[in-house]
């Protein structure tokens, strides 16, 4: 089985609801009457069937406020309740009005006690409108530096800087990218259900089968991506036919060991440094960014850095690139962002700048006797 960091840290899952929200109130709801002609209670709202499948929800709503108002109608003069924000609550959006969203809300998270309410757009942000504004991009869940795992450090500042940049800067920098493009090798062909390598003597060597490949990880399929001209590694996209898992596997035609190397995302290759990096959405929280060194003599990858960012997902890992040996760009989305009803989620662009002497730094090892008296 593949021992990817993405799955190694799955036991450390932290559930994040909302986008940079704060919970400053007890989890029990406190309903207060607004300034209306009568006292409004939950009984004044339309009872509805609760949401039992999130996939049926057109869009979700998020807030950074300590309290929000529930209106009985999409009218600012309508009666309303003031509800304390609870980080465990879900605000399921169903319709959009001029100044309001209609939501389905389960009181005290009891699906059988659900109501329809109307909330102000000024108090909520729909998933498709989320941005990185005000988001702490430095926040990480864990990291690994040269095989030394760190679960305590929660900031990327240890390794470098990360900032949001404009789309124009992203496009301009991409024109000067230094990672190499993977190209199709004419020696690699698909014959029937087999990927073959044909050498100069027309001898055929089996690389792998194409589809329905039975492995210890289940049934897999392999799609040929291209070859690294510098490292001369053939790259295949490995997809599970039973799950959504995807890897990128590497094949060296001069080696008898097949597919011992892999990355969890589309690889960016820096020839001068023999680096192979990737950035990919993490199945649990945020995104994974990793850098390894390819050692041709042992046909192996030596891990340099792995970071699990928490505040964004990756839009398209194939578009990420290195502008220089220390500067990496990627297109991302806020963690809870999602498209809905024909409205696209808002893309953002980030720049990661590694410390110049990062990989010349000495590893810090834990000393169990560091707090003992001399």
Q: Give the tens place of pLDDT for each residue, 47-56.
A: 999 999 998 9
Burial of 309: CB neighbours in 10 Å, binned 0-12, 13-18, 19+:
buried
- Per-residue pLDDT band at 69 (split at 50, 70, 90): very high
pLDDT, position 7: 37
Residue 13 tokens read as 């899952």
Q: Residue 275 pLDDT more than 90?
A: yes
- Stretch among 8-12, 79-83, 203-207 having the lowest mean pLDDT: 8-12
Close Cβ partners of 113 (under 8 Å, ≥ 6 residues apart): 50, 106, 107
Six token digits for residue 210: 């194409």
Higher pLDDT, 126 or 362: 126
Range list of β-strands (E), 2-139: 31-33, 46-48, 59-62, 67-71, 80-84, 91-96, 100-106, 114-120, 125-126
pLDDT at 16: 34
Beta bridge partners of 81: 33, 70
Q: What is the mean pLDDT of residues 357-364?
A: 70
pTM for the full predicted model: 0.81
Percent of the chain with pLDDT over 70: 85
For residues 311-340, give the mean pLDDT.
Answer: 96
pLDDT at position 200 is 72
Which percentage of the chain shows pLDDT scores above 90? 69
Q: 35-39, 66-70, 298-302, 335-339 — which is least confidently predicted?
A: 35-39
Instruction: Quote the pLDDT of residue 17.
Output: 34
Given this model, what pLDDT does residue 2 score?
56
Q: Computed over its alpha carbons, how large is the radius of gyration of the chain? A: 25
Helices (H), 233-349: none
Structure tokens at 158: 């240890």
**Residue predicted with more confidence, 245 or 158:** 158
Closest CA to 276 of 298, 295, 254, 297: 295
Provide the pLDDT for residue 28: 42
> What pLDDT does residue 299 have?
85
Mean pLDDT (whole number) for 189-211: 87
In whole angstroms, what is the distance from residue 123 CA to residue 151 CA?
A: 35
Q: Indicate if the pLDDT at residue 40 is higher than 70.
A: yes
Q: What are 98's two structure tokens?
A: 């001029």
Q: Is pLDDT at 39 greater than 90 in this prediction?
A: no
Give the burial class of 364: count Cβ atoms within 10 A of its Cβ; 0-12 exposed, 13-18 middle, 19 or more buried: exposed
What is the number of other CB atoms lying within 10 angstroms of the CB of residue 27? Answer: 12
Using 50, 70 and 90 to split pLDDT, how confident is the model at 99?
Answer: very high
């Amino acid at each position: 089985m593949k021992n990817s960091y993405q799955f190694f840290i799955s036991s450390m899952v932290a559930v994040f609801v909302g986008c940079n929200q704060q919970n400053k109130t007890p989890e029990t709801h406190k309903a207060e009457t607004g300034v209306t002609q009568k006292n409004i209670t939950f009984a004044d709202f339309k009872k509805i069937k609760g949401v039992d499948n999130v996939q049926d929800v057109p869009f979700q709503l998020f807030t950074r406020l300590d309290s929000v108002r529930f209106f009985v109608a999409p009218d600012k003069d309508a009666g309303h309740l003031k509800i304390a924000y609870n980080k465990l609550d879900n605000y399921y959006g169903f319709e959009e009005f001029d100044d309001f969203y209609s939501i389905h809300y389960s009181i005290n998270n009891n699906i059988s006690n659900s109501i329809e309410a109307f909330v102000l757009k000024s108090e909520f942000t729909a998933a498709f409108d989320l941005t990185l504004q005000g988001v702490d991009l430095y926040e990480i869940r864990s990291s690994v530096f040269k095989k030394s795992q760190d679960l305590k450090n929660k900031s990327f500042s240890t390794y470098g800087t990360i900032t949001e940049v404009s789309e124009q800067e992203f496009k301009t920098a991409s024109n000067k990218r230094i990672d190499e493009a993977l190209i199709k090798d004419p020696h690699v062909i698909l014959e029937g259900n087999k990927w073959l390598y044909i050498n100069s003597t027309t001898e055929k060597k089996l690389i792998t089968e194409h589809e329905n490949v039975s492995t210890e990880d289940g049934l897999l399929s392999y799609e040929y991506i291209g070859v690294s001209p510098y490292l001369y590694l053939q790259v295949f996209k490995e997809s599970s036919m039973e799950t959504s898992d995807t890897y990128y596997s590497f094949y060296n035609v001069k080696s008898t060991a097949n597919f011992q190397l892999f990355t969890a995302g589309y690889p960016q290759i820096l020839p001068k440094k023999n680096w192979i990096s990737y950035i990919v959405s993490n199945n649990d929280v945020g995104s994974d960014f990793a850098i390894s060194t390819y050692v041709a003599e042992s046909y192996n990858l030596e891990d340099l850095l792995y970071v699990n960012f928490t505040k964004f997902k990756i839009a398209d890992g194939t578009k990420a690139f290195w502008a220089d040996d220390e500067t990496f760009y990627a297109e991302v989305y806020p963690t809870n962002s999602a498209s809905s009803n024909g409205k696209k989620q808002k893309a953002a662009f980030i720049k990661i700048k590694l410390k110049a002497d990062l990989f010349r730094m000495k590893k810090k090892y834990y000393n169990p006797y560091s707090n003992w008296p001399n």
